[in-house]
Each structure stands twice: as C-alpha cells, then as structure tokens.
Amino acid sequence: MGTVVVFKGIKPQRLNVDQYRKKILNAMRKEGTQQRKVLRKTTRTWRGDKPKFETAIGLSRQRGGGATVTTGPGGSKKGAQKWGWLDEGTKIRWALMSGDWRSKTTVGHFGSRKGKGRVVLVGKRAFRRRGIRPRPGIKARNWSQILTKQRKRPFQRAMIAAMKAAAKGSFR
C-alpha cells in the first residue's frame, strides 16, 4: 500500500512595517527622554539663562540607514551658547573672575554643584580698554562625548528589544 503525500502551500504573511516603525520610534523617544534627563543635571544650579534640551529623532528609510537620536541645547540662545562653551571648551576667555571663583561644573562629570565667586569683568572691549590680556580658555566638559559613550549600549539594547517586540506582533 502506498503513502499519500499532500503538499500544502504556506502563504507568507505580509510584514507589518508600520508596527516596526512604531515600536522603534517609541524606543527612540524614550532614549531622547533619558538623554534630556542626564543633560539637565549639568544646568541644575544655573541661574539666569539656561538652555532647554531638545531631542531630534531620525529613522532612515534607505537600506543600511540607521536610527539616530540627537539631544542638545535649545531654547534660550545665551543659555545654549554658554552650555556649548562649557561642553566644547574655548581657547581663550574674555572674562575675569574673582579670586574666590569656583565653577559649578567639572570636566567629565554630569552634574552641577554650588559655585562660588563672581564675574569681575567681561567682554573684549572691557579687556582692551584696561590693557588686560585674555584669560586661558574654558576646559571642555565633554558632556556630549560622555553621553554618547554612556548611552550607546543601552540604546542598542532598546532597539533590539523594540525590533523583537515588533516581530512578535507583526506576524499573525
């Protein structure tokens, strides 16, 4: 007696691209929230002009493109400029501080503590008028680089988890 073999075609389900996109974008938004939370620590004790940290997310549709989350200072122009000087450092400083000056931030550290001292003189014109040479620049705090390094692995894990969740819900 012979066996009967039946072949049945399995029709693949269509990939739900919107599901993937939604999960990935939500994970990216959460990452932006985390980055803003960390960066806000750098200006916690500042008075006056403070930057408002903003996040831009991007998801490339091209093959090989990636997901990017960029967070940086925005809002007040003066606040954002001041934050940028501290993050990147400067070559020279057109400000003279009092002898008891203590900065609120330190190189390579997220956070802002209580500072001390005051600004005695500021601006090129004021320096030149008094015949004072510019001061050594601000040491770069490198917050952007440190944040990128700290958040790289958690971001990668979040993207993998988002893709797995999307794959689970994508095919029915």
Residue 6 lies in a domain: no
Residue 106 lies in a domain: yes
Residue 165 lies in a domain: yes
Residue 145 lies in a domain: yes
Helix or strand or coil: residue 5? coil
Count of domains for the chain: 1
Q: What is the pTM of this model?
A: 0.81
Distance CA 145, CA 48 (A): 26
Residue 4 lies in a domain: no
Positive or negative: CA dihedral 142, 70, 149, 48: positive
One-letter amino acid of 23 = K
Distance CA 55, CA 130 (A): 43
pLDDT of amino acid 65: 67
Residue 58 lies in a domain: no
pLDDT tens series, the chain, 172 aa: 677 888 777 777 777 788 888 899 999 999 999 999 999 999 999 888 999 999 999 887 776 668 889 999 998 899 999 999 999 999 999 998 999 999 999 998 888 889 899 988 888 899 899 998 988 999 999 999 999 999 999 999 999 999 888 888 665 5
C-alpha distances in angstroms, 156 versus 65, 110, 115?
15, 22, 36
Q: What is the pLDDT of residues 112-154, one digit of tens each?
A: 889 899 988 888 899 899 998 988 999 999 999 999 999 999 9
What's the domain range around 105?
17-53+68-170
pLDDT of amino acid 55: 95
